[in-house]
Structure 1
Amino acid sequence: MNTTNLIRLLVLAAIWGGSFLFMRIAVPALGPALLIEYRVGSAALFLLLVGLLLRKKLDLRANWGHYLVLGFFNSALPFFLFAFAARTLSASVLTVLNATAPMWGALLGAIWTRTGISLRTGAGLALGTLGVALLVGFDHVSARPGAGIAIAAALVAAVCYGIASLYARTAKKVEAFSNAHGSMWAAALLTLPLLPFFPAPGTPTVGIMGATLALGIVCSGIAYIIYFKLIEEIGTTSALTVTFLTPAFGILWGALFLGEVVGWYTIVGAGIVLLGTALVTGFIKGPNKLAPVTAR
């Protein structure tokens, strides 16, 4: 990996770690549904502009079904669930729960293909479960009202990313930028029915709208471009290392800008989760064939 791609990797991890910070800032005023509608809508408009500049066509007639599936499992549902959880959980907890996504992808892949789970994968899943239990068991946010539902929502969101990765392995091949662009429009459409059930609880300020636009344009639009560029340059397996860097930035941003407490359980729990993820995804002792499609 050359210096340019290393910088891209670090920037992407910093951006995706920041997505949980922006959600924590904006969701109290906008609520989870409107926040995510703004997020995917602004990302779609940004990618439309980029597509026009790059003269990349979006073949909706041929790929609309593919975009809907990808938009639902990789954007609309997990984004909404993380935003729902962000009303209660800290950015630190959210970013570590998000890091379990590759483990779910590997587990679902083994079930789908009926190939069984290797000893290494099983050990990784067990470690990941232990790390999550340690993190949420000792973190003070687990005592807040509704924390149990929020934790479950965040874990289901991570499972959605695992489903998206499994789907991407078997779906027809579509150009990477078109996947990003089309899935954002699909996610914007799929999120609309949620708006009447989750009205905005407050009045957004300029700062909150700024965080919302950053969440859409930077954390979804620009991040997608960087991510797919990394896949093109260094391959999916190497690009997946962003999974191990994102929690560090998520914890850092939460501590710096939201004053979140970083206890020993945060560091140890995150470390155990990442070790489990490394085992499951093959970064320790040989690669697994895991090709996730991620958007945070």
Structure 2
Amino acid sequence: MIQATRKKSRRWVVDLVLLGALWGASFLFMRIGAAEFGALPTAAVRVGIATLFLLPILLLTRQGPALAQHWKPILLIGVANSGLPFALFCFALLSLSSGLAAVLNATVPMFGALVAWAWFRDRPDNSRLVGLAVGFIGVALLASRSEAPHTGGPGDSASAQLLGVVACLGACLSYGIAASATRRYLAGIPSLATATGSQIGATLFLVLPAIWLWPSHMPSLHAWLALTALGIFCTGVAYILFFRLIAEAGPARALTVTFLVPVFAVVYGAVFLHEPVTMWMLLCAAVIVCGVALSTGIVKLPLGGAAVKQA
């Protein structure tokens, strides 16, 4: 009995590493897909496949009524949580390396803290405020010397790279807004219903633009396989892992996946896409990770000043 309990208590570590590996791979697959499909079709195919994967699971677990009862907020939040950020990241990956985009993605908790501060008046304590400042300094330093994939196309220009960085940060802000909206409007709703409904909402949001911008030449089997893996494993399976991780290990531990995603993404990009990994990029990534650790409260500085929360 004790051994079984210990085994279960350690399973969250396996889930955490696997989730980091899956979400790290999503940047690799998005870049492969966007190169042939374009940004919006790539995002639309991703959420469409994820919907087809999650919907039967939702029905088998009999959580459909929860989705039917709360479909309006779930679908709308799905646009902010999946549709818009996926499209922005796919656009950014036309001019940025997958590793760099993943490092910028690590700022999501900082944007989440800022949105919660503005929305719920959850003022961070002094340690978290320092973390926010450190994190955004790291982003500014990283953006100042961003490295593109060097495809020989228009995405290699400095302006395109800067636009890609802005798109990544816009996606992170969208995630932060979605997190606070979920807290405000979706509390108590089963996680699988929220995950499935969010993908349905994102699909509805992206389907018409994707059809309009669908590539004139049929993408290769390689690109289709990348998007299939992106939709099933990096979205559908990853969502299930994420919510199980929250249930078993708590939100604070689940949040540490933020540190693993860029590591996996940088390794994947270097091995499979031969993307450059510069010392400047690694140093800036370290600064951003420190900022995230402080701004989320995982690491605290011995500073005075308690957080203030207003009703």
TM-score by length of 2: 0.87
Shift of 1:125: 1.5
Q: Structure 2: how far apart are the matches of 1:58 and 1:115?
A: 33
Kept in 2, the 8 Å contact 1:139–1:265? The answer is no
Q: Deviations over 1:59-78 (max 9, x none)?
A: 44421111122211100000
Structure 2 residue 223 is the aligned partner of structure 1 residue 208: yes
Aligned residue among 146, 155, 158 for 2:160: 146
Aligned residue among 234, 237, 245 for 1:222: 237
Q: Structure 2: how far apart are the matches of 1:197 and 1:206?
A: 21
Q: How does 1:242-261 map to 2 (within 5 A)?
A: 242-261=257-276
The one-letter code matched in structure 2 to 1:188 is: T
Aligned residue among 130, 133, 157 for 2:171: 157
Q: Structure 2: how far apart are the matches of 1:222 and 1:166?
A: 23
Aligned residue among 7, 15, 35 for 2:14: 7
1:278 match: 293
Structure 2 residue 169 is the aligned partner of structure 1 residue 169: no
Moved more, 120-129 or 242-251: 120-129
Moved more, 91-100 or 188-197: 188-197
RMSD after superposition: 2.1
Aligned residue among 73, 77, 83 for 2:90: 83
Q: How does 1:256-271 map to 2 (within 5 A)?
A: 256-271=271-286
Q: Deviations over 1:195-229 (max 9, x none)?
A: 25533264311111000011111111000011111
Kept in 2, the 8 Å contact 1:280–1:288? The answer is no
Kept in 1, the 8 Å contact 2:66–2:189? The answer is no
TM-score by length of 1: 0.91
Change (3 A) 1:153 1:234: same
2:133 match: 126
Give the number of aligned pairs: 289
The one-letter code matched in structure 1 to 2:37 is: L
Kept in 2, the 8 Å contact 1:85–1:151? The answer is yes
Q: How does 1:3-82 map to 2 (within 5 A)?
A: 3-82=10-89
The one-letter code matched in structure 2 to 1:276 is: G
Q: Deviations over 1:129-164 (max 9, x none)?
A: 121122222233285451121111110000001001
Identity rate, percent: 38
